[in-house]
C-alpha cells in the first residue's frame, strides 16, 4: 500500500467555525444537507476525494459523541474503495451511504489502479446523546477558539517567568 494518503477534503461546512453555509458554492449539496434531520456535529461536512491506489493509515478519531456518514458520489463501483473499521471492510459504492463510528480504528483505501472516488463526508451527533448534551457540545465547540486565546493570555506571564528562571 502507498501511504501518501491521497485523501483530500474540501470543507464547505464546519458548524463550529462557519455560521453560514456557502450555498453559492455547493447549492445542491448544502440544500440536501439542510434537509438532514440528524443534528450536525461541530466538526465538518466536506466533499472528499480518495485518490486511486492510495490509503490512509489506521487511526481513531477518539470522538465518542459523533458518527460519520459517507455518501460516495462517483468512483470505482466494484468495492475497490472502502473504509475499514475495526477490521470490517465497508465498501464505498457510489450512491450507497454508510454510517460508521470512527472511535474504532479505521483506515480508508482505494485499491483501484486509476480511478479516484469522490464522496460527501458528514459528521453528526451520536443519536444516543440527549438534547442537553448536544447543546453543551455545540456551545463548547463554538467557543473553543475564544477559550484557547483566553488560556494562552493567562499562561503567558507564567511562561515568561519560567523562561526567565531557566536562562543562564
- List Cβ<8 Å contacts ≥24 apart for 13-20: 13/40, 13/44, 13/45, 13/46, 14/42, 14/43, 14/44, 14/45, 15/40, 15/41, 15/42, 15/44, 15/138, 15/141, 16/42, 16/43, 16/138, 16/141, 16/142, 16/144, 17/145
What tens-digit pLDDT sequence spans the chain (168 residues)? 334 456 666 555 444 444 444 556 567 766 777 677 767 777 777 778 899 999 999 999 999 999 999 999 889 999 999 999 999 999 999 999 999 999 999 999 999 999 999 888 888 899 999 999 999 998 888 788 678 778 889 989 888 888 888 874
Amino acid at each position: 500500500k502507498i501511504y501518501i494518503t491521497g485523501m483530500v477534503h474540501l470543507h464547505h461546512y464546519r458548524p463550529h467555525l462557519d455560521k453560514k453555509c456557502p450555498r453559492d458554492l455547493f447549492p445542491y449539496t448544502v440544500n440536501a444537507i439542510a434537509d438532514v434531520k440528524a443534528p450536525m456535529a461541530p466538526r465538518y461536512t466536506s466533499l472528499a476525494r480518495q485518490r486511486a491506489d492510495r490509503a490512509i493509515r489506521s487511526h481513531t478519531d477518539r470522538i465518542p459523541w459523533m458518527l460519520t456518514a459517507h455518501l460516495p458520489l462517483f468512483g470505482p463501483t466494484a468495492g475497490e474503495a472502502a473504509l475499514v473499521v475495526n477490521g470490517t471492510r465497508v465498501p464505498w459504492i457510489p450512491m450507497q451511504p454508510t454510517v460508521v463510528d470512527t472511535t474504532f480504528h479505521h483506515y480508508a483505501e482505494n485499491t483501484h489502479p486509476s480511478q479516484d472516488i469522490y464522496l460527501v463526508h458528514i459528521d453528526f451527533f451520536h443519536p444516543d446523546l440527549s438534547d442537553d448534551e448536544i447543546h453543551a457540545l455545540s456551545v463548547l465547540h463554538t467557543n473553543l477558539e475564544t477559550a484557547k486565546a483566553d488560556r494562552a493570555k493567562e499562561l503567558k506571564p507564567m511562561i515568561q517567568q519560567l523562561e526567565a528562571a531557566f536562562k543562564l
